[in-house]
């Protein structure tokens, strides 16, 4: 189970991994906490602009269904309203996702965990990947679900307890990946603007430590990742920065998507290449 703030986040933060595991026969559930109602139209060439201008949330639901089909995952909406960025005074719209107390906002996720019964939970870190209020709240509710879903008596109206085995934070964007891409760009005599772009990203990351513990080899699914991204056409244009480097170069330079094992209730190896490492279940297929 992967918990995301808005539709399109799942496609930029793990889509190749989700496609990989669905092809392996695992059940994969993507959870969108909000409908992305506060988003803007970010693609000037959007073919469905008329609908986007009339009903962007409705279009984003259609786009999410398209991305879901590409990845082969199951999908659920938690049903909360996009908070948007905080106002100048730090306040948030009433009843938006990030404004709701965690004991209320986490209950639908706890209920879904107990229904779906995942072995693995993938979430954002405490900064939300970047400090959007909904990303931070997505972290908060995911951590609450991790702690409480298996506790008898906690959220008593949300179904029978289920304890998740492993908790990961996504580390899809990391310095090691960018440095590997840069090396391949230099070796291939890449255009200066490509090097400038990767140097800008490395500068933005600064001295941030590389926290990834688990590198899942998913190069064969980068094409599915890109199609999932493009499914969110109101948010992702064909010339988006997501596609600034050729796919074949990415496959050679860094054929992984990366995650940090944060907590595990099963014994797991020090170096992992599989989110299910250490999980053995002879009675049913793996569930992520």
Binding residue ranges: 6, 9, 135
Instruction: Give the burial string for 21-53 (b: 16+ CB within 10 Å, else e).
Output: bbeeebbbbbbbbbbbbbbeeebeebebeeebe
**What would the two tokens of residue 109 be?**
């996720």
Give the three-class secondary structure for 81: strand
Residue 231 sits at the vertex; the CA angle it makes with 13 and 64, to the nearest 5 degrees, is: 75
Cα–Cα dist 18/1, whole Å? 9
CB 71 within 8 A of CB 57: no
Distance of CA 21 to the CA centre of its chain: 14
Strands 120-123 and 256-264: unpaired
Instruction: Give the burial string for 119-132 (b: 16+ CB within 10 Å, else e).
Output: bbbbbbbeebbeeb
Cα–Cα dist 192/186, whole Å? 9
**What would the two tokens of residue 126 be?**
């405490």
Cα–Cα dist 286/278, whole Å? 12
CB 258 within 8 A of CB 174: yes
Cα–Cα dist 56/37, whole Å? 7
Cα–Cα dist 200/196, whole Å? 6
Among 169, 198, 193, 164, CA closest to 260: 169
Residues annotated within the binding site for Zn(2+) are 6, 9, 135
């Amino acid at each position: 189970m992967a918990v995301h703030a808005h539709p399109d986040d799942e496609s930029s933060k793990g889509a190749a991994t989700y496609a990989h595991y669905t092809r392996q026969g695992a059940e994969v559930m993507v959870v969108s906490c909000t409908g992305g109602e506060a988003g803007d139209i970010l693609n000037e060439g959007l073919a469905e602009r008329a609908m986007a201008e009339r009903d962007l949330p409705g279009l984003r639901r259609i786009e999410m269904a398209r991305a879901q089909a590409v990845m082969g995952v199951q999908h659920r909406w938690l049903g909360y309203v996009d908070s948007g960025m905080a106002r100048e005074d730090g306040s948030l719209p009433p009843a938006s996702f990030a404004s709701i107390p965690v004991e209320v906002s986490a209950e639908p996720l706890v209920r879904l965990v107990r229904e779906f019964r995942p072995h693995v939970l993938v979430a954002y870190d405490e900064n939300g990947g970047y400090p959007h209020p909904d990303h931070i709240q997505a972290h908060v509710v995911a951590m609450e679900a991790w702690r409480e879903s298996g506790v008898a008596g906690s959220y008593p109206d949300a179904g029978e307890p289920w304890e998740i085995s492993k908790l990961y934070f996504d580390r899809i964007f990391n310095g090691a990946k960018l440095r590997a891409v840069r090396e391949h760009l230099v070796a291939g005599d890449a255009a200066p603007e490509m090097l400038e772009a990767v140097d800008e990203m490395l500068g933005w990351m600064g001295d941030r430590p590389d926290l990834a513990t688990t590198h899942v080899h998913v190069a064969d699914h980068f094409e599915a990742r890109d199609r999932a991204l493009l499914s969110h056409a109101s948010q992702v244009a064909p010339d988006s920065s997501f596609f600034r480097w050729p796919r074949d170069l990415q496959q050679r330079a860094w054929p992984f998507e990366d995650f940090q094992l944060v907590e595990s209730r099963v014994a797991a190896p020090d170096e992992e290449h599989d989110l299910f490492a250490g999980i053995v279940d002879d009675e049913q297929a793996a569930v992520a």
